[in-house]
C-alpha cells in the first residue's frame, strides 16, 4: 500500500479502539498523512488502559461499537467521567446502522458517528470537526475561572455581538453567572455561534456542510462579515437572574429557520460534520429551551438547584 506524504504535524493523538486490524490500517492510511499521531487498542478494556496512560495527549477517540472483551458502549459507561472532564470527542464507527443502536450511542454521549463503510473525506471531515470543536471549548473554558466569583450582584444585562470572536467572548462571560459554568458554556456557545453564522450571516445547513468539507467555513464567515448585506447585523443576548434561576434570551436579525428538527440529536444526522449544537444545548445545558415561531429568538431557562429538586419531585 502506498503511503501518502505527510503534512504538518497536528498536536494530540487519536486513539483508535477497534478489534479488526484491517479497519485500523485503513484509518491509519487516511489519518497519518495529515500529521495525526495514531495509537490503537483492540477492545474497550485495552482502550481504557491506553486512555489512562495517555489522558492529556489524546485529542480524539475513534471507537468501534462491537468488540470482544469490552464493547464500545461499555467502554463509554466506564470512562465517561474521564472523557467528559478532559473534553475528548468520541466518534463511534460501526457497521450497525440501526436507529435504535445509534440512539444508544447518542445516549452514552457520542455526538459524532460513522457507519461503515465510509468514505475517506467523511472520516477526515468528522475527525477535523470534532477536534476543532473540542479545542475551542477547552480553550475558552479555561477563561471561566476568571469570572466565577464576579458579578454576583448583577440581575440583568444585555450583550450585543457581531463576530465569532464576539460570540466566544460573550459565551465565557455569560457562563460565569451560572452555578455550573462549564455545563452552561457548552449550550451558550453553540447558540451564540448559531445566531451569528446561521442567523445573521445566513449560512444554511447544507452550505456549512460543504464549507466544512472544503475547510472554508472560517473564511466564509469573515467574508460575509464584510459584505454590505450582513455587516451591520447585530445579535443580542439578554440575561435575567431571579430567585428561581436564569433566563437567557438570544436574538438575531436573520430570517429564522426550521428549529424543530434540531432540538434533539437526530440519528439521520449523526454522521454529519456539524448539526448537534442546538440539541446539545437543549439536552445538556438548560432545563428548558423555546424558540419563537420564526426561529430567530430562543429563550433558555436554567433553574437553580433547589428549583430543579422541587420540579423533579412534583407529582406527574
Q: How far apart are CA 120 and CA 101, in angstroms?
A: 23
Per-residue model confidence as pLDDT tens for the chain (316 residues): 323 334 444 567 999 999 999 999 999 999 998 888 999 999 999 999 999 888 778 989 999 988 999 999 999 999 988 887 788 889 988 765 666 777 777 777 777 788 777 778 888 888 887 888 777 777 766 666 666 666 667 889 999 999 999 998 899 889 888 888 878 888 999 999 999 999 999 999 889 888 888 889 899 999 999 999 999 999 999 999 998 899 999 999 999 998 998 888 766 666 666 777 888 888 888 999 999 999 999 999 999 865 554 444 455 4
Long-range contacts, stretch 288-292, CB < 8 angstroms, 24+ apart: 289/263, 291/259, 292/256
Q: How far apart are CA 103 and CA 267, in angstroms?
A: 7
Domains and CATH numbers, the chain: 13-137 (3.40.50.2300), 147-313 (3.30.565.10)
Q: How far apart are CA 41 and CA 304, in angstroms?
A: 42
pTM: 0.69
Amino acid at each position: 500500500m502506498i503511503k501518502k506524504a505527510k503534512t504538518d504535524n497536528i498536536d494530540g493523538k487519536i486513539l483508535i479502539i477497534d478489534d479488526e486490524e484491517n479497519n485500523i490500517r485503513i484509518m491509519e492510511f487516511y489519518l497519518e498523512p495529515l500529521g495525526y499521531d495514531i495509537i490503537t487498542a483492540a477492545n474497550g478494556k485495552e482502550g481504557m488502559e491506553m486512555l489512562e496512560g495517555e489522558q492529556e495527549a489524546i485529542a480524539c477517540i475513534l471507537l468501534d461499537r462491537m468488540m470482544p472483551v469490552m464493547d464500545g458502549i461499555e467502554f463509554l459507561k466506564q470512562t465517561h467521567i474521564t472523557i467528559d472532564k478532559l473534553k475528548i470527542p468520541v466518534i463511534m464507527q460501526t457497521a450497525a446502522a440501526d436507529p435504535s443502536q445509534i440512539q444508544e450511542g447518542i445516549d452514552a454521549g457520542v455526538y459524532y458517528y460513522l457507519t461503515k463503510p465510509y468514505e475517506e473525506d467523511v472520516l477526515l471531515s468528522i475527525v477535523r470537526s470534532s477536534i476543532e470543536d473540542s479545542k475551542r471549548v477547552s480553550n475558552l473554558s479555561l477563561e471561566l475561572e476568571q469570572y466565577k466569583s464576579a458579578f454576583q450582584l448583577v440581575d440583568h444585562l444585555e450583550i450585543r455581538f457581531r463576530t465569532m470572536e464576539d460570540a466566544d467572548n460573550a459565551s465565557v462571560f455569560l457562563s460565569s453567572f451560572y452555578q455550573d459554568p462549564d455545563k452552561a458554556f457548552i449550550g451558550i456557545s453553540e447558540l451564540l455561534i448559531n445566531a451569528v453564522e446561521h442567523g445573521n450571516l445566513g449560512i444554511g445547513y447544507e452550505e456549512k456542510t460543504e464549507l466544512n468539507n472544503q475547510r472554508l467555513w472560517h473564511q466564509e464567515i469573515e467574508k460575509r462579515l464584510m459584505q454590505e448585506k450582513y455587516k451591520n447585523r447585530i445579535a443580542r443576548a439578554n440575561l435575567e437572574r431571579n430567585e428561581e434561576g436564569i433566563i437567557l434570551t438570544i436574538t438575531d436579525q436573520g430570517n429564522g429557520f426550521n428549529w424543530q428538527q434540531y432540538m434533539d440529536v437526530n440519528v439521520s444526522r449523526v454522521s454529519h460534520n456539524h448539526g448537534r449544537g442546538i440539541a446539545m444545548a437543549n439536552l445538556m445545558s438548560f432545563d428548558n429551551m423555546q424558540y419563537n415561531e420564526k426561529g430567530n429568538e430562543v429563550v433558555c431557562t436554567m433553574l437553580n438547584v433547589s428549583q430543579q429538586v422541587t420540579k423533579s419531585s412534583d407529582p406527574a
